[in-house]
């Protein structure tokens, strides 16, 4: 007599196996198992289709998977993978199972146990070519971005805030940000505190204030400031950040950039310095022209007066030689004023090199001699008593000052 229950159980198991086989054989992923001699135990239809495509011949359970037309590099690759699983290791690894860039697969291998003994390996493989191509595009994009940032001297950074705290998590720095801040990316752990420690002492409060204000208000304000590299080099940066807020208006993220503007800043500062220097030189030139116009009055007045006397005095007159000597002295004074003009118009460095010890008494006597006619005509008496005999300075400037003080009396 046949046990109906046993027959039903057998049929149920057979139906279950058919469903399982149908499921396994209709998925695109490859599944197979091997024994310790690298021979096929079982596989799904995708495996058989793949092997038939690669070798041009059918495979059956018991066949070695180290088939004849498999190249030596591939044989070594698969033996290494199989041996890891046969050694008791379960792992996932991306492998290139075919030549070119279209043979990438993610394989999962795990040991098959009979009690405590490993008797084979279960293998699973799925096509990851699309993922690998996407990853390659991302890598290439990152490489291009790094190259562009290096050329533009612009680095990017990303800070995730935790409850508004920018110090809670380490920021993400691009390669160029490490370079701009003077750090080696291979030996440096980025942090906001490390960035703050780089700031020039005179700029630190202003920059940290801008960060706090941006988090509090969501405002994006570009800022220029200085940093100090570990070797002491001072660099100028321009930074700008964009605040991301949640629905409640709280800052949750800051993405921004650093740009090294050192060379441009130096040019700007040099240009500003040149402009200020030109303005100052203009003022000095105007002042000097004013002073010279007064300084010329004395010698020219003397020359005119002495010339008039010489025209009306016979050469045989005893006073005639004195007039000639006075004319010579006034001419020399005029020549000195003209030379002074040349001195002052020289570059500042050259002028500084002409500083000398100026004796006040001698200076006043020179001035008295140059305006002797004015003194005589007006009956003025010039007296002086200096607390110090003189100073180291530009004689030309001091002469102009003393001269102006003297002629104001006329």
SS3 readout for 79-142: HHHHHHHHCCCCEEEEEECCCCCCCEEEEEEEEEEECCEEEEEEEEEEECHHHHHHHHHHHHHH
d(CA 335, CA 325): 15
Domain boundaries along the sequence of the chain: 22-127, 152-260, 283-407
Helix %, strand %, coil % for the chain, to 5? 50, 20, 25
d(CA 233, CA 165): 30
CB atoms closer than 10 angstroms to residue 8? 10
pLDDT in tens, 334-355: 777 777 666 655 544 444 446 7
**Angle at CA of residue 184, ends 266 and 142, nearest 5°:** 90
CB atoms closer than 10 angstroms to residue 329? 17
32 alpha-carbon distance from chain centroid = 55
Q: Of 76, 92, 101, 86, give the one whose Cα is nearest residue 126.
A: 92
Tokens of 194: 């490390």
Report CA torsion sign: 310, 311, 312, 315: positive
H or E element at residue 251 = strand 251-260
Q: Of 322, 324, 331, give the one whose Cα is nearest residue 301.
A: 331
Tokens of 84: 């890891």
d(CA 44, CA 59): 12
- 22-127 with 152-260: one CATH topology? yes
Architecture of domain 152-260: 2-Layer Sandwich (3.30)
DSSP of 311-327: HHS-TTSTTHHHHHHHH
Sheet with 154-160: strands ordered across:
172-173, 154-160, 251-260, 234-245, 223-228
Tokens 């102009």 belong to 400
Q: Please, how many CA atoms are within 13 Å of residue 244, restricted to the half-sphere of its CB?
A: 11
pLDDT in tens, 121-174: 999 988 877 777 777 776 776 666 666 666 657 888 899 988 889 898 999 998
- Residue 239 contacts residue 223 (beta carbons within 8 Å): yes
Cβ-based neighbours of 72, under 8 Å, separated by 6 or more: none
Tokens of 303: 């020359």
Q: Which residue numbers in the chain have pLDDT < 50?
A: 1-2, 100-101, 347-353
- Residue 132 contacts residue 94 (beta carbons within 8 Å): yes
pTM of the model: 0.45
The two beta strands, 91-96 and 104-114, are antiparallel
* The CATH classification of domain 22-127, taken from the options 3.40.710.10, 3.30.450.20, 3.40.50.1010, 1.10.10.2160: 3.30.450.20
CB contact burial 215-248 (16+ within 10 A = b; e otherwise): beeeeeeebebbbbeeeeeebbbbbebebeeeee
Q: Of 273, 276, 243, 238, give the one whose Cα is nearest residue 259.
A: 238
């Amino acid at each position: 007599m046949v046990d109906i229950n046993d027959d039903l159980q057998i049929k149920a198991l057979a139906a279950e196996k058919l469903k399982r086989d149908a499921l396994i054989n209709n998925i695109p992923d490859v599944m197979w198992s091997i024994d310790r001699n690298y021979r096929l135990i079982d596989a799904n239809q995708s495996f058989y289709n793949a092997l038939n495509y690669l070798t041009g011949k059918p495979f059956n359970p018991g066949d070695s998977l180290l088939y004849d037309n498999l190249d030596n590099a591939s044989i070594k690759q698969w033996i290494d993978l199989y041996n890891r699983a046969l050694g008791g290791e379960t792992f996932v690894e991306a492998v290139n199972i075919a030549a070119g860039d279209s043979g990438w697969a993610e394989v999962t291998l795990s040991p098959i146990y009979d009690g405590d003994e490993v008797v084979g390996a279960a293998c699973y493989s799925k096509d990851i070519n699309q993922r690998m191509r996407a990853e390659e595009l991302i890598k290439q994009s990152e490489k291009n971005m790094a190259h562009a940032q290096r050329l533009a001297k612009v680095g990017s950074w990303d800070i995730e805030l935790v409850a508004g705290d920018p110090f809670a998590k380490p920021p993400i720095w691009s390669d160029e940000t490490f370079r701009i801040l003077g750090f080696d990316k291979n030996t440096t752990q980025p942090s906001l505190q490390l960035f703050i420690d780089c700031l020039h002492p005179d700029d630190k409060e202003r920059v940290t204030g801008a960060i706090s204000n941006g988090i509090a208000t969501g405002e994006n304000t570009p800022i220029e400031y200085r940093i100090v590299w570990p070797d002491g080099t001072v660099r100028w940066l321009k930074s700008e950040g964009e605040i991301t807020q949640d629905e409640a208006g709280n800052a949750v993220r800051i993405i921004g950039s650093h740009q090294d503007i050192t060379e441009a800043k130096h040019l700007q500062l040099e240009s500003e310095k040149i402009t200020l220097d030109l303005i100052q030189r203009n003022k000095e030139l105007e002042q000097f022209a004013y002073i010279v116009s007064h300084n010329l009055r004395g010698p020219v007045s003397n020359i005119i007066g002495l010339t008039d006397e010489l025209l009306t005095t016979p050469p045989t007159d005893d006073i005639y030689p004195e007039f000639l000597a006075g004319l010579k002295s006034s001419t020399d004074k005029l020549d000195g004023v003209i030379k002074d003009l040349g001195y002052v118009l020289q570059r500042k460095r050259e002028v500084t090199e002409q500083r000398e010890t100026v004796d006040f008494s001698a200076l006043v006597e020179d001035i008295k001699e140059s305006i002797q006619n004015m003194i005589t005509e007006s009956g003025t008496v010039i007296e002086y008593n200096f607390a110090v005999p003189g100073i180291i300075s530009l004689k030309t400037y001091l002469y102009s000052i003393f001269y102006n003080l003297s002629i104001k009396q006329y």
